[in-house]
Amino acid sequence: MLGVGLTAAGEQVTETTALKVTTVYRCIELIGSSIKVLPFNVHERSGDAHQPIDHDYNWLFNCRANIDMTSSDAWQFLITSKFTHGDGFAELIRASYRSSKVLGWVPLHPDRVDPFRDKLTGLKYYRVTRESGEQEVLDQADVIQLTSLGYDGLRSPSPITYAASEAIGTAIAGQKWSGKFFEEGATFDYALSTDAKMTRIQLKDVKDTVIARDKNSRMPLVLSGGLKPAQLTINPRDAEILASRLFTIEEICRIFGVFPFMVGHTNKSTSWQSGLESMGSTFVRYTLLSHLTQIEQEFNYKLWPARSKRFLDHNTSQLERGDMKSRFDAYRSALGRAGEPGWMSVNEVRKRENMAPAADGDALFKPEMTETNNGEQDHADA
């Protein structure tokens, strides 16, 4: 009521109002959807190499997070909370208080989580308010926290109410103006002109006639006294609002690290397939990778004992896949061609394409072996 917390556009930006802006909704949904479709599997270190292994955690993070939520829903909830409230929280459900084994994980609403530090030990704990209203204190080892820029050791500021508040506030104001424009009949300004000089009484009659028209009415305007309607082009104020709406789309995308074409804004964007693929790889490299690294570090620290050979890792190959021709050319190079040794086996390629392994597809291609075999064969034929 006092105007506290309002943006320069006169709008209050909250987690609820921000999601009503389509650009904000799509940016958050896009990043969350991109992360939740990536395989998050357990790997095991073996010397300098590592390989994926079969583990119960693969089911928890790729199929079912808990009895009520799929892993996909849990990831979307966690990522959305991070962008709307600044922090994403999740509770690790362990077999017992002393057990390190995790049986499931449940995202927590940020409004129900209150991080604090013990004054004597300095250790961090989380006070969680359950749906029943009861409060419970959880140890730091049992809570996943994905922070945002500005993290102070306990909480992070919300990106949409801190960095993007002005851009989102302008977008909300622009949406309201557009709605009001269509509510009033979606007609541009017009003028009434005449060469004759009109008296005050005549001007008042014309004004009363215009005001008397019902809004959204399509009834004709009856003019007298030589008045002629003149349709005006869009006025500077309307043009400025339309330009600001286009600008806010780019501004919001810039804050979230999303290319405008990914939210349906194709203005000034390339339509060439190679250009879109390049921007898609850039999106993975410079936007998603920072979030994926944070997720991997937080979960690996909370799930495994120190110096464990096992760790969780994302596989981003699905998002970085090019068109069929580019993908198959890359496979030919990996399998070995033009006398070059291969660094991928046939079965590794078939696995990426969701195909069954071949009986003899585990060996790597070596050109010297082929040349030797061909020489022996030629000698035998002779």
Asked if residue 309 is part of any domain, the answer here is yes
User: Which value, in Å, is the radius of gyration of the alpha carbons in the chain?
Assistant: 31
What b/e sequence results for 142-178 when a residue is b if at least 16 CB atoms lie within 10 Å of its CB, and e otherwise? bbbbbbbeeeeeebbbbbbbebbbebbbbbbbbbebe
**Contact yes or no for 42/53 (Cβ under 8 A):** yes
User: Half-sphere exposure of residue 350, counting CA atoms within 13 Å on the CB side?
Assistant: 11
Per-residue pLDDT at 177: 66
Return d(Cα 224, Cα 44) in angstroms, integer.
88
In this structure, the answer to whether residues 332 and 214 fall within a common structural domain is: no
Per-residue pLDDT at 380: 47
What are the tokens at 289?
């990778």
Q: Which of 270, 296, 322 is the last residue of a domain?
A: 322
Which range marks the domain in which residue 226 is found?
A: 190-231
Per-residue pLDDT at 294: 96
In this structure, the answer to whether residues 347 and 210 fall within a common structural domain is: no
In this structure, the answer to whether residues 301 and 201 fall within a common structural domain is: no
Q: How many domains does the chain have?
A: 3
Asked if residue 249 is part of any domain, the answer here is yes
Asked if residue 38 is part of any domain, the answer here is yes
In this structure, the answer to whether residues 331 and 343 fall within a common structural domain is: yes
Per-residue pLDDT at 198: 74
In this structure, the answer to whether residues 278 and 305 fall within a common structural domain is: yes
Type and span of the H or E element at 354 = none
| DSSP 3-state of 230 | strand
In this structure, the answer to whether residues 258 and 305 fall within a common structural domain is: yes
Per-residue pLDDT at 229: 66
In this structure, the answer to whether residues 347 and 207 fall within a common structural domain is: no
Cβ-in-10-Å burial (0-12, 13-18, 19+) of 26 comes to buried
**Contact yes or no for 23/248 (Cβ under 8 A):** yes
Q: Which of 303, 322, 341 is the last residue of a domain?
A: 322
Asked if residue 379 is part of any domain, the answer here is no
In this structure, the answer to whether residues 102 and 243 fall within a common structural domain is: yes
**Contact yes or no for 241/177 (Cβ under 8 A):** yes
Among 8, 5, 23, CA closest to 249 = 23
Asked if residue 300 is part of any domain, the answer here is yes
Per-residue pLDDT at 213: 62
**Contact yes or no for 261/279 (Cβ under 8 A):** yes
Residue with tokens 């970085």: 320
Among 327, 316, 254, 322, CA closest to 285 = 316
Strand pairing category for 135-139 and 143-146:
unpaired
In this structure, the answer to whether residues 67 and 209 fall within a common structural domain is: no
In this structure, the answer to whether residues 224 and 311 fall within a common structural domain is: no
Asked if residue 129 is part of any domain, the answer here is no
Return d(Cα 229, Cα 210) in angstroms, integer.
12
pLDDT tens per residue, the chain (382 residues)? 444 467 766 678 888 888 888 889 999 999 999 999 999 999 998 877 788 899 999 999 999 999 999 999 999 999 999 999 999 999 999 988 778 889 999 999 999 999 999 999 999 999 999 999 999 999 999 999 999 999 999 999 998 888 778 788 777 777 776 666 666 655 555 667 777 777 787 777 777 776 666 555 555 566 666 667 665 555 555 555 555 666 788 888 888 989 888 887 776 655 455 555 666 678 888 899 999 999 999 999 999 988 889 999 998 876 766 556 677 778 888 888 767 888 888 888 887 776 778 888 888 888 765 554 555 544 445 4
- What one-character-per-residue DSSP string does 11-73 give? -B--HHHHTTSHHHHHHHHHHHHHHHTS-EEEEEEETTEEEE---HHHHHHHTBSSSS-BHHH
In this structure, the answer to whether residues 87 and 197 fall within a common structural domain is: no
Strand pairing category for 190-193 and 228-231:
antiparallel
Asked if residue 376 is part of any domain, the answer here is no
Per-residue pLDDT at 1: 44
Return d(Cα 315, Cα 320) in angstroms, integer.
10
Asked if residue 133 is part of any domain, the answer here is no
In this structure, the answer to whether residues 227 and 89 fall within a common structural domain is: no
